[in-house]
Amino acid sequence: MTNAFAWMAWTMPIAIFFISIVLMLAGMTFWQLRSPSIERKGLLPIPTTRGDRLFIGLLSAAYVNLAWAGLTDVTQWIGAAIGFLLLLILMRWG
């Protein structure tokens, strides 16, 4: 049996990505405990809480990043920046 981690390319950008996700989840948990969220309707067609918008924003950022990687030859950092901007927009106004 092989080690599952031996197949993963653990580079600094990947480590930063996973650390960022963990920090976002920890921050959202703390924020929820300090100030429980209420559902509201924004840009999205459904009422959402902060956690819903984070989840939708992370999925959207991932899809933008994958589309960028598959459709362009431009550096991936631009696709990641666009995905992060979309995440911020959804968190604020979604």
Per-residue pLDDT tens for 35-90?
988 898 888 888 999 888 989 998 998 899 889 988 989 888 898 899 889 989 99
**Which of 4-8, 11-15, 71-75 has the lowest average pLDDT?**
4-8
**Cα separation of 65 and 36, whole Å?**
31
Tell me the CA end-to-end span of the chain in Å, nearest whole number. Answer: 45
Handedness of CA 16, 21, 22, 23 (dihedral sign): positive
Q: What pTM did the predictor assign?
A: 0.75
pLDDT, residue 21, reads 87
Alpha helices in 1-94, H assignment, sequence order: 12-34, 50-71, 76-93
| 23 touches 17 (CB < 8 A) | no
